[in-house]
Structure 1
Amino acid sequence: MEYNQKGLTKGWYCPNQKRIVGKDLIIKDYGELEVTLNQKLQLNRIKNLAEKVAKSNIIPFFIGGDHTITYPIIKGFLEHYEKIQIIHVDAHSDLGINRWDIVEHGSFMKNLIQEEKIRHIYQLGIRGPQDKEDIKSDKLTTLFGTSFKNVTIDSTLPTYITFDVDVFDPSIVPSVGYPVPNGWHYKDFLDFIELCVNNADVIGIDIVEYNEMYDFGNKIGASTVTHAILDLLAGVMMKNENERD
């Protein structure tokens, strides 16, 4: 990231957006949150951090890690916002039970759906096996595979995006714990940015579940995820820059 003499970003040309993005902004890496083996303490630390961020003028981009982090992040945001909606991009619905008596990566969405301040949850890219007892709720829209291309996201509600990289097809992101075939290709991801990210009032993003242990020798998963982070940033910046203009 290059900066001008005023300490603001010079931006970069994004071929997918066909324009310069990220110009005249303050972008910082705030470092890493120390990990503890005490799960409840860890969840509380993440929640406290997210609450502080939500009260600032920062649009945060959290990088995990296990998908469990989304639960305390959103709990922290709910301390500040009166209402939000969630765009949950994932191969799995994560509507399972708390198997160890604590929220975890397969159950965090089941816990969040009970929050009154969450007005709607859009689940996109789902293709893993579904439990016949998965939750049915008026506030939940589940769109399988690439069928999200017909959905209309409420552009007026503060929107949190949680992105599990196992939504990608294993041919381009093999480096996940629970790969599922027939996933998104990068063109589908770019369509998602154009249709959902560019038009949403994004208040925060997380991207999770990349695991280097499962990557190929040429790090194809790392490359895809890195480009996905840049394109997600570009999508959020484009909307903010248009509003500024």
Structure 2
Amino acid sequence: MNEDRLNLPFVGIPSFLRSPVQTDMRNMDADIAVLGVPSDEGSPWYPGARMAPRAIREMSVRFAEYGAIQHAAGLYDVDEDKHYLRYERRNQRIVDCGDVDILYTNPEGTMRNVTDATSEILQSGAIPVVFGGDHAVSFGVVRAYEEPVSIVHFDAHLDYRPFVHGVENANGSPMLKIGNLANVDRMVQVGIRSIRTSKSALQQSLDRGNAVVTVNRLRRAGVESILRELPKGGKVYVSVDIDVLDMPLVPGCASAEPEGFGFEELRQTMFAIARHADVIGLDVVEINPMLDVRSNNTSLLGAQLALEFMGRVVEQPAYLARKGRAA
């Protein structure tokens, strides 16, 4: 009798969720495409976020199940008594595109590579799921979109730091740069709380028309304080800086701040966005494995957030309509 391999987490090549590796993005047939951007040249503090795509992939194999039967079942939510990503897992609709080429000491060249790789994923019809790296890489990703898109930005910081001494590709400035892109419509910045936030940066964000939803405001007003800022069914790109979570939850983050969201708060908020909008891209950034605990908990959280969020995204009616599948 032939038995399936156990496929234990510490065995084999750690592609994201043990998905097929597809580095030829011009000839790709997938629904979700994972892309790593291992760059931390934009970080003015501790280095190490460049190691995150590799660490996140290693942690993701813990969700890959043992053997073919469980693999085909998808990801099971105990509270909801429901499997997610079952179709995608059974039909190998999730692929790992590897990492973009990082041109060290040439951040502009690296950003071009990020944009080019994301463009190829979008042209294939897949949703990019991007793991940084520091938050500067988000600009390179969003720049690849040609259609109008709103941004939901989860972060402890506004990331509206002005360019000083010609430094534009820093992790404190991506939302300032993204907000200047012609196709970027609404921007909702969620979780802002750092006392390093400047009043002038806040005013600049508000003057652009952005909505700024602090942790306390979300807790008072609920998730509607985000959803009302986004058109129902509109196209949305979600950027998650892991420091939106509370400091004890993310030891592997150089920019962690106190009094952030709990994991369940963030999880349910992201699920609400997936139900409300047509999510067409995601990035998770600022995980630093060189600072993390030995069990890589921060990388594990990043992998789980992406998996659970995408499990809800692929059930959105607009997404299913594009794929020719019934809701």
Indicate whether the TM-score tops 0.5: yes
Match of 1:120 among 173, 180, 186: 186
How many angstroms apart in 2 are the aligned matches of 1:65 and 1:15? 32
Match of 2:162 among 74, 93, 97: 97
Give the percent of matched residue pairs that are identical in Structure 1 and Structure 2.
Answer: 21
Amino acid aligned to 1:70: S
Q: Deviations over 1:188-215 (max 9, x none)?
A: 1122123212221011100001001111
Question: Take 1:154 and 1:238, find their aligned partners in 2: how far apart are those partners?
Answer: 18
Question: 1:89-238 maps to which residues of 2 (within 5 A)?
Answer: 89-101=154-166, 102-129=168-195, 130-134=197-201, 135=204, 136-145=206-215, 147-148=217-218, 149-151=223-225, 152=227, 153-238=230-315
Following superposition, the deviation at residue 138 of structure 1 comes to 4.9
Post-superposition Cα deviations, 1:202-234, rounded to whole Å, max 9, x if no partner, equal 111000010011112333323322322221222
The structure in which a higher percent of residues are helix is 2
Q: 1:17 to 1:98 in 2, by over 3 A?
A: farther
Q: How do 1:41-120 and structure 2 match up within 5 A?
A: 41-77=109-145, 80-81=146-147, 83-101=148-166, 102-120=168-186
Distance in 2 separating the partners of 1:235 and 1:99: 40
Cα deviation for residue 17 of structure 1 reads 4.7
Q: 1:12 matched to which residue of 2?
A: 75
Mapped contact 1:88–1:121 kept (Cα < 8 A): yes
Structure 1 contact 119–139 (Cα < 8 Å) conserved: no
| 1:33 matched to 2:33 | no
Is the counterpart of residue 21 in structure 1 residue 84 in structure 2? yes
On the 8 A contact 1:67/1:105 being kept in 2, the answer is yes
Aligned 8 A contact 2:151 2:187 in 1: yes
Instruction: Encode CA deviations 1:27-46: one digit per residue, 9 max, x unaligned.
Output: 11111112111111101111
CA drift of 1:13 comes to 1.2
* Consecutive unaligned residues in structure 1, runs of 5 or more: none
Superposed CA offset, 1:9-68 (max 9, x none)? 642212355411112221111111121111111011111111222222101100111111
Q: Distance in 2 between matches of 1:16 and 1:32?
A: 35
What CA distance in whole angstroms lies between the structure 2 residues aligned with 1:9 and 1:154?
Answer: 35
Q: How far is 1:146 from its partner?
A: 5.1
Q: 1:52 to 1:146 in 2, by over 3 A?
A: farther
User: CA separation in 2, counterparts of 1:117 and 1:21?
Assistant: 31
In 1: Cα distance, 2:143 partner to 2:181 partner:
9
Distance of 2:276 and 2:289 partners within structure 1:
32
Query: Where do 4+ consecutive residues of structure 1 move more than 4 Å?
Result: 1-5, 240-243
- Mapped to 2, the partners of 1:226 and 1:172 lie a distance apart of 14
1:11 partner amino acid: G
| Unaligned runs of at least 5 residues, structure 2 | 1-63
Over aligned residue pairs, what C-alpha RMSD do you find? 2.3
Q: What SS does the aligned partner of 1:228 have?
A: helix
Which deviates further from its counterpart, 31-40 or 222-231? Answer: 222-231
Structure 1 residues 218 and 9: CA distance shift in structure 2, 3 A? closer
Given the two structures, how large is their TM-score scaled by the length of structure 1?
0.89
Instruction: Select the structure of larger CA radius of gyration.
Output: 2
> Secondary structure at the residue paired with 1:213?
coil
Size of the aligned set, in residue pairs, is: 240
What code does the residue aligned with 1:92 have? H
Residues of 2 paired with 1:122 and 1:16: CA distance?
29
TM-score with structure 2 setting the length = 0.68
Q: What is the one-letter code of the residue matched to 1:157? A: G
